[in-house]
Amino acid sequence: MAATIIDGKAVAARVRADVAQDVAEFLAETGTQPGLATVLVGEDAASAVYVGGKQKACAEVGIRGFDHRLPADTSREDLLALIDTLNADAAVSGILCQLPLPGHLDGVEVTNRIDARKDVDGLTIASAGRLALGMAGLVPCTPAGVMLLLAEAGVEPQGKEAVIVGRSNLFGKPMAQLLLAANATVTICHSRTSDLGEVCRRADILIAAVGVAHLVKGDWVKPGATVIDVGMNRLESGLTGDVDFAAASETAAAITPVPGGVGPMTIACLLRNTLTAARLSA
C-alpha cells in the first residue's frame, strides 16, 4: 500500500491563516504591529529569493517588513552596528540575518549579536540553551514545522524510535531536542555513522536533512515508518529530496514530498515566531 503524502502546503496555509488572525487581534489589543527585519549581505541569488519570500509572507499576514540589503563587502563593524540598531528598535519584533554570509563575516558572531528575544530563527546560544533545557523560547523554524507535520500525520512521538540523518546546528540538533521533549527515543546519524542503512531501518520516525540527493534508499525504511525529507537538492530533473521518494513510498506509512513538504512550513513557523516575539516584548 502506498504511503500517505503529508501535504506541507496545506498545513502551512492553515498556520499562516491562524497567524494572520492572531496578528490582527494583537494589533487591536496593543496598537502595535509585529515587525520582522531581514538582513541580506551580498548578491547570493538563492538567499535573495528566500528573503523575498519571507517579506512577501509577512505582508500577507499583516506583519510589517523591514528589508535591509547590504553590499557583499559590508564591514563587520557596519553589520554589527545595524544589528544593534534593530535590537534597539521597538518596531522590530524579530530579526533574521540570512545565512550564509560572505566569507569575511562570521555567521555565528553576527547571529549571536541578535537579542535572544528577537531571535526568530532560534539560532543564538541563548535560544539553543533554552531549547536544550526544556525552557520556553523561540524555536528554530524548520524543526518546529516538522513537529506540526508529524501531528498532521497523526504521529505521536512518545515511545517511538526517531532517527535523524544530519547533525547541523540549524536543524539536526534542535530537531533532536524537540523529539526528546516529546518523549521519543532519538538517534542522530552523520557522515561517520557506521552502517547508516541499518540504523535507519530501526526508525519509526525517519528524518533526513543532509543535502545529498536520494541518500536514503527505499530499503532503509522500516515498514509503516513516517518519513520526513528536509533535503532540497537541485538536479537537472528538478528539485528532489534526500530520500528516494518513489521507493520509500512503497514501505512508509506517511512521507513528505519535495517540494511541497517541509519547505512551506519553515516560513509559516517564522511568521509564528515573529508574533511570539512581539508578544514577548509587549
Would the pLDDT of 206 be above 90? yes
What is the DSSP secondary-structure string of 200-215? HTT-SEEEE-S--TT-
**What is the C-alpha to C-alpha distance for residues 182 and 129, in angstroms, rounded to an integer?**
17
Q: Residue 75 is part of a domain; what is its CATH number?
A: 3.40.50.10860
Pairing of strands 226-229, 254-255: parallel
pLDDT score of 33: 98
pLDDT at 118 over 90: yes
pLDDT-derived band at 257 (thresholds 50, 70, 90) equals very high
Q: How many domains does the chain have?
A: 2
54 is catalytic: yes
Decide if 25 is inside a domain: no
Q: How, if at all, do strands 238-240 and 233-235 pair? A: antiparallel
Residues 159 and 197 in one domain: yes
Using alpha carbons, select from 254, 44, 23 the residue that is nearest to residue 146.
Answer: 254
CATH code for the domain in which residue 212 is found? 3.40.50.720
The single-letter code of the amino acid at 104 is H
Same domain, yes or no: 112 and 147: no
Do residues 246 and 152 both lie within one domain?
yes
Read off the DSSP letter of residue 6: -
**Which candidate in 22, 54, 118, 204 is catalytic?**
54
pLDDT tens readout for residues 76-86: 999 999 999 99
Residue 263 marked in a binding site = no
Q: Are residues 159 and 113 in the same domain?
A: no
Would you say residue 17 lies in a domain?
A: no
Residue 129 has pLDDT above 80, yes or no: yes
Check residue 226 and give its pLDDT. Answer: 98
CA distance linking residue 70 with residue 43, whole number of Å: 9
> Mean of the pLDDT values across residues 14-31?
98
7 part of the active site: no
Angle 106-108-109 from CA coordinates, rounded to 5°: 65
Catalytic residue chosen out of the listed positions 22, 115, 119, 121: 121
Ligand-binding site membership of 167 (annotated): yes
Show which of 83, 117, 151 is a domain's final residue.
Answer: 117
Q: Do 173 and 113 have their domain in common? A: no
* Domain contains 245: yes
Measured between alpha carbons, how far is 264 from 257 in angstroms, rounded to an integer?
11
What mean pLDDT comes out for the span 192-214?
A: 98
Residues 152 and 249 in one domain: yes
Give residue-wise pLDDT tens across range 51-108. Answer: 999 999 999 999 999 999 999 999 999 999 999 999 999 999 999 999 999 999 999 9
- Grid coordinates representing 212 are 545529498
* Residue 268 belongs to some domain of the structure: no
Domain end call among 70, 102, 117 = 117
- Structural domain of 86: 32-117
Tell me, yes or no, whether 280 lies in a domain.
no
Q: Does 130 count as an annotated binding residue? A: no
What residues have CB less than 8 Å from 35, skipping those under 6 apart? Answer: 63, 64, 65, 66, 91, 92, 93, 94, 274, 278
Residue 279 lies in a domain: no
Per annotation, catalytic residue among 22, 98, 119, 173 = 98
Sign of the torsion angle spanned by Cα atoms 11, 13, 19, 21: negative
**Looking at the structure, do residues 176 and 252 belong to the same domain, yes or no?**
yes
- What region, left, alpha or beta, does residue 24 occupy, with left being phi > 0 and alpha being psi -120 to 50 degrees? alpha
CB 14 within 8 A of CB 266: no
Is 259 a residue whose pLDDT tops 90?
yes
Q: What is the pTM of this model?
A: 0.96
Dihedral sign computed on CA atoms, order 259, 262, 268, 271: negative
The DSSP-derived string for 61-92 is HT-EEEEEEE-TT--HHHHHHHHHHHHH-TT-
